[in-house]
Each structure stands twice: as structure tokens, then as C-alpha cells.
């Protein structure tokens, strides 16, 4: 059947980790569940929770003690990453049985392009996909249907759990424009705060915003967000996007050959700051850090480390780069140094390995990072930093494959 426009789906699994646990153990169905790293640890943090738990006010990143206070009957489970990975693979296998045009974006969500699908009406196929995932895997999902990826993503968030929402371009003014600007995919808390500072409070305000003002405020992202607010998005569903691990790097030739370790580490610090700044401007994180060392005789080596969780901060990048330098530099005079962060993922789509050491560490640092960012913004970069850990050759993060990369390899 001939289609007049693209038919893009965003399939979003509902409360994925908790739903997988309930599918594995039927006795958990209908009960308030929270996934956390250590159920016995008072300082533990909720990674995700079931809709039954959410009805009590339990939320992601909430301290366990607070969650249990709100919901005394809360069942707290440790995460089982292998179980979630297998469930994710089975879900994407179902999606690919309908079309090869499937783009995974995280362990529990992905896009499909059904434009070229022949036979049944698209809406019947979409209902069948949702029903199959529920029947065969016992997992609920919500599906957004639209002419492009952005609108499909917005639509999938509009009805949970087990919703199917169609969002057409002509519906954008009535349905999307009245929503608060922070509800728009791609607008984070900081961006929303900036937009509200110039009187943009709802998505409709953004859609009608002045290009020059938006560019001055947000750079090239200003026009992109305005286009999205008007329902415009030309991105294609790209099954090969899982291979697109690009890199951001900086290198410098030293004014003289250097043998002083402190001086070399100082150079790594400057390079790490530059790389971190570029990553943050692109809203990207990287799972790998590498250094390049060119010696006096022009011999060049590159050494890298794969991280368990993605990074974009100068301290984390420096910590790994410093460890690599100390492990692989033998004291020979150095002519050039370079630092690169690779295997990049979009910040919003990054799936961290949720061992709670990482999750709780991030949560603890978040308020500090906000203060540091404000101080550096007001008084200049480098005025104040968090302590940089002393990373020797064995101190940087484990080189084992991350949960996210394991998940992506299932699709290659």
C-alpha cells in the first residue's frame, strides 16, 4: 500500500528493569518494586521502579530510605544486567521481524521505519508488535507513531504504560505547543531555565521564537530546537548508527622535548580540559580514552582504555590519561602529547552500567558539579575544581566491557 509520508515508530519499554523482574518472577506482578544496588544499604538509590511503586510517589534517583518511607511494602531488588540484556535482545528481535529498519538507541528503546511495509494497515501492525512483546516476553511497552523520529519520541511518552499514540504534524499546535518547554525531548533543565529567561515557557513559545535570539542563547542548537518544536526532523532511522563511535581529541607539539613528569601531566590537564569542553558542547559522552605519545626520535605510540561508564569531565579524562602515561612512558623525551575520547554516545542516550557505586557517586557529585559550573561560569574556568584522584597505572577504571557496549554488540 502506498504511503503519503514516513511512518516512524518509537518503541519505549515501560519500567523496563522492574518489568523484566516481574516477568521472571510472577509473584512480583502487581507489587511495588524498586531496583537498587544494595537493598540493605540505607544510602542506596532507586535505579528504577514499577508503576505500582510510582503510585506511592517513589521515583528514580530517590534515596531508598525515602522510598521505603513513602511505600513501606516496597520490594527492593538488585539489578540483574544479564537478564535485562537478554530481554532487550529478544525485544529487538521481534522488532526486526517486521522490518530491517530498526535503530536501537538504548537497552529499552528504539526506532522503526514502517514506511515501506506492505499489506496490513500500519496501525494494525503496530498493535500486533505491542501485543507480541507483551505475549511473548511478558513486557509492556508504549509506542509513538509519527512522520519523524522527534514526534515519535514525544508521542511514546504521552501514554504509559501500554499506550499507542499517533502524533501528526498538523496536531503539533493543539497537542504539543501547550506543553511546558521542559517536557520537550532535547530540552534539559539548564536549557529550559535559559529559555524561560527570555520568556519561552511553553513549546509553542519556542516554535515561534526569534532565530537570532535563540542562536545567541543556545548557538546552533537554538534553531534545531525551534525546528523540533514545529514538528520538523529530517533524521532517518539508521540501523547502522550502532557503528558510529566517533571521537573527540586534541594534541599539542611541545616547544621543547620534555622529560619532566609533572610538566607532561600539566600538558595532559590542558588537553583534557579542551576535550571535555568539546564533548560537553556536543552533549556527548565517551566510553574510551586514549593518549598519543611521540618521542624525541619521532617514534609514536597510542595507548587506550575502555571504561565501564562513559565520561565527559576533565577530571575523569585526566585521571585515565595520566594513568596511561605513567604505565607506558619510560622516561624518553616527549615531543608531542595527545588525548582522545572515543566510542561516543549522546548524553541523553547513554546507558550507564548501573552498579550503584557509579550511580550513587554520580548522584553525590551532581549538586557539587552544579556549584562548580556556576562558579567557573561567573569567575572563569579553572578557578575551582573537584579533587583529581591520583591515578597510577592500576588506578583508572576497569577495562572490562561496559553494559552499554555489551548491549550494542548484540545488534552488530
Q: Which residues contact 183 (CB under 8 A, 6 or more apart)?
A: 203
Angstrom distances, CA of residue 179 to CA of 182, 184, 197, 203, 210:
8, 8, 17, 6, 19
β-pair partners for 13: 141
For helices 211-218 and 220-229, give the axis angle rounded to 10 degrees: 130
Q: Given 21, 103, 109, 343, which residue is catalytic?
A: 109
238 annotated among ligand-binding-site residues: no
For the chain, the straight-line distance linking the first and the last C-alpha, in angstroms and rounded, comes to 31
Nearest CA among 1, 40, 3, 39 for reference residue 21: 39
12 annotated among ligand-binding-site residues: yes
Element (H, E) at 379: helix 356-379
Nearest CA among 88, 138, 98 for reference residue 9: 98
109 part of the active site: yes
Please give the positions annotated as active site.
109
For the annotated binding site, the residues are: 12, 108
For the annotated binding site for Mg(2+), the residues are: 12, 108
Amino acid at each position: 500500500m502506498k504511503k503519503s509520508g514516513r511512518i516512524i515508530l518509537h518503541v519505549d519499554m515501560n519500567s523496563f528493569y522492574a518489568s523484566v523482574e516481574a516477568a521472571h518472577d510472577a509473584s512480583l506482578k502487581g507489587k511495588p518494586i524498586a531496583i537498587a544496588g544494595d537493598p540493605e544499604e540505607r544510602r542506596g538509590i532507586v535505579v528504577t521502579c514499577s508503576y505500582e511503586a510510582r503510585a506511592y510517589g517513589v521515583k528514580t534517583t530517590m534515596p531508598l530510605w525515602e522510598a521505603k518511607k513513602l511505600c513501606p511494602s516496597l520490594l527492593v531488588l538488585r539489578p540483574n544486567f544479564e537478564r535485562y540484556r537478554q530481554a532487550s535482545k529478544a525485544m529487538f528481535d521481534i522488532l526486526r521481524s517486521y522490518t530491517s529498519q530498526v535503530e536501537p538507541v538504548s537497552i529499552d528503546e528504539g526506532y522503526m521505519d514502517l514506511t515501506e511495509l506492505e499489506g496490513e494497515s500500519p496501525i494494525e501492525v503496530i498493535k500486533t508488535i505491542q501485543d507480541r512483546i507483551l505475549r511473548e516476553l511478558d513486557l509492556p511497552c508504549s509506542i509513538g507513531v509519527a512522520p519523524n523520529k522527534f514526534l515519535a519520541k514525544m508521542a511514546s511518552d504521552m501514554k504509559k504504560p501500554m499506550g499507542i499514540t499517533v502524533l501528526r504534524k498538523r496536531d503539533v499546535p493543539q497537542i504539543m505547543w501547550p506543553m511546558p518547554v521542559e517536557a520537550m525531548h532535547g530540552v534539559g533543565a539548564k536549557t529550559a531555565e535559559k529559555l524561560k529567561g527570555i520568556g519561552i515557557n511553553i513549546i509553542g513559545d519556542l516554535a515561534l521564537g526569534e532565530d537570532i535570539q535563540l542562536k545567541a542563547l543556545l548557538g546552533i542548537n537554538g534553531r534545531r530546537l525551534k525546528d523540533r518544536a514545529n514538528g520538523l526532523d529530517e533524521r532517518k532511522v539508521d540501523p547502522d548508527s550502532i557503528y558510529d563511535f566517533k571521537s573527540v581529541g586534541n594534541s599539542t607539539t611541545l616547544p621543547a622535548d620534555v622529560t619532566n613528569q609533572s610538566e607532561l601531566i600539566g600538558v595532559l590537564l590542558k588537553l583534557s580540559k579542551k576535550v571535555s569542553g568539546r564533548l560537553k558542547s556536543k552533549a556527548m559522552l565517551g566510553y574510551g580514552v586514549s593518549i598519543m605519545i611521540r618521542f624525541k626520535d619521532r617514534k609514536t605510540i597510542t595507548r587506550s582504555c575502555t571504561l565501564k561508564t562513559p565520561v565527559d569531565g576533565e577530571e575523569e579524562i585526566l585521571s585515565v590519561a595520566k594513568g596511561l602515561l605513567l604505565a607506558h612512558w619510560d622516561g624518553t623525551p616527549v615531543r608531542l602529547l595527545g588525548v582522545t575520547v572515543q566510542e561516543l554516545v549522546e548524553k541523553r542516550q547513554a546507558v550507564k552500567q548501573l552498579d550503584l557505586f557509579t550511580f550513587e557517586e554520580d548522584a553525590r557529585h551532581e549538586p557539587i558539579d552544579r556549584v562548580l559550573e556556576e562558579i567557573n561560569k561567573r569567575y572563569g574556568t579553572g578557578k575551582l575544581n573537584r579533587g583529581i584522584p591520583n591515578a597510577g597505572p592500576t588506578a583508572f577504571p576497569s577495562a572490562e566491557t561496559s553494559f552499554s557496549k555489551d548491549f550494542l554488540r548484540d545488534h552488530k
